[in-house]
Amino acid sequence: MENSIIHLTNSAEAWNNASPVGNGEAGMMVHGGILTDKVTLNEETIWSVDPNIPSYPDMPKKIAHIRKLFLDGKIYEANEWIRENMGTYVRIKSYEYAGELLVSLHESGECEDYRRDLDLLRGVCTVSYRKDGVSYLREHFASMANGLLSSRYSASSPFSATISFARENILSYTASGDGISFLAQTAFGERKFTLDSRIVTDGVRSVDGNSVRIENASFIEIYVAICTDFKYEDHASKAREMLLAAKVGWKELIRESTEIFASFMKRSNLNFDGGDPAIRKLTIPERLARLRQDENATDPDLVALYWQFGKYLLVSSSAPRALLPANLQVCGRRGSFPHGTQTTTRISICR
């Protein structure tokens, strides 16, 4: 799978422009900002649902009957039967995100050689750039092995950063040099969940209110665990337990996760003749602009990459760690690939 990188040279201006990574049960949308990097976090069971929602034991039989009607070609009869027999059901409310990880790094947004790459084979998003003569690298992945959402910030010279989390309906929030945790609830239904994190760094740590300040660091690693009352009665303890997996270190965590992710992605592949390696090095907006401007231009590798991206999203949202079925949300009007110079992905992981 040589054709497996979605390459961009701009940060995301909005959620649906960010780069998605996921492990089936949890995921991140990486924005890649220079002044402040915003990473939107989610977990599959953060739903605004009434705990007293009624059950419908006859639903499986009704669904089976409707399917048979459709399979028998009785479309009109199926629609009429649904109208007359399905009635009105209490629905769950909205899915909610887990929060935002905010990492403030610089006082200005100017930089050189910026690139944001999503590795579809390994399930890793990287952001790299140069600023004031220093090279910076960020890596993000959602662990297939232990469920942690993992981010690493490093540089060729010592750097500083301020770390915090943000969300509505936070009930309690604790910040220490070792990490940040909070208890939150959904807007409706008052379903509760815990987000806990651990910070690993060689820098000097201090706490300022709800933020953790790291200075004179060569690297900063942030590990996030999200646990809900949908899955665990004591979700705070379960989140702390999950974070113990970070003790093996970044290299082992990313090695194990990417091997698992690649094992799914390598199950199938798609290639077309006529691909040009030079065109493959262009950003997605440049490749789309090339096709729009020249009716005779071709880019078979872009078609294959489009297919790989769809598979990537399905793996990221329905891997074996998932409890609920995948629920992909289309964001935008023209499909899943970037459109325009300031756009990245148009289909993003959203449960």
CATH number at residue 233: 2.70.98.50
**Shared domain check, 152 and 72:** no
> Number of structural domains, the chain?
2
Q: How far apart are CA 237 and CA 271, in angstroms?
A: 47
**Shared domain check, 38 and 78:** no
**Shared domain check, 214 and 123:** yes
- H or E segment at 60? helix 59-71
- Strand-pairing partners, residue 181, are 174, 196
Phi, psi of 192 (to 5 degrees): -110, 155
Domain extent at residue 76: 55-89
What is the token pair recorded at 322? 């998932």
**Shared domain check, 161 and 72:** no
Structural domain contains residue 114: yes
Q: How far apart are CA 178 and CA 239, in angstroms?
A: 15
Q: Which of 113, 127, 201 is nearest to 163 (CA)?
A: 201
Q: Residue 60's CB: how many other CB atoms inside 10 A? A: 9
Structural domain contains residue 151: yes
- Strand-pairing partners, residue 7, are 117
**Distance from chain centroid for Cα 214:** 25
pLDDT computed for residue 48 by the predictor: 83
**Shared domain check, 99 and 28:** yes
Longest distance between any two alpha carbons in the chain, whole Å: 70
Instruction: Write out the chain's pLDDT in tens, 351 residues.
Output: 677 999 999 999 888 889 999 999 999 999 999 999 999 999 999 988 766 677 788 889 999 999 999 999 999 999 999 999 987 776 667 889 999 999 999 999 999 999 999 999 999 999 999 999 999 999 999 999 999 999 999 999 999 999 999 999 999 999 999 999 999 999 887 899 999 999 999 999 999 999 999 999 999 999 999 999 999 999 999 999 999 999 999 999 999 999 999 999 999 999 888 788 889 889 898 999 999 999 999 999 999 999 999 999 999 998 888 888 776 543 332 333 333 323 233 333 333
Q: Which of 269, 246, 331, 247 is nearest to 17 (CA)?
A: 331
**Shared domain check, 255 and 157:** yes
Q: Which of 303, 262, 263 is nearest to 280 (CA)?
A: 303
Q: How far apart are CA 211 and CA 52, in angstroms?
A: 37
Please tell me the pTM assigned to this model. Answer: 0.85
Structural domain contains residue 6: no
Unique residue bearing structure tokens 């309906």 = 169
Structural domain contains residue 136: yes
**Shared domain check, 105 and 79:** no
Q: Are 29 and 348 in contact (CB under 8 A)?
A: yes
**Shared domain check, 200 and 172:** yes
**Shared domain check, 143 and 69:** no
Which sign does the torsion angle of CA 185, 186, 188, 190 carry? negative
Q: Are 147 and 242 in contact (CB under 8 A)?
A: yes
pLDDT computed for residue 157 by the predictor: 98
**Shared domain check, 69 and 85:** yes
pLDDT computed for residue 16 by the predictor: 86
**Shared domain check, 98 and 85:** no
Q: Where is the domain boundary, 244, 261, 278?
A: 261
Q: Where is the domain boundary, 89, 106, 140?
A: 89
Structural domain contains residue 147: yes
**Shared domain check, 165 and 77:** no
**Distance from chain centroid for Cα 103:** 16
Judged by DSSP in three states, 231 sits in coil
Structural domain contains residue 169: yes
Structural domain contains residue 66: yes
Structural domain contains residue 340: no
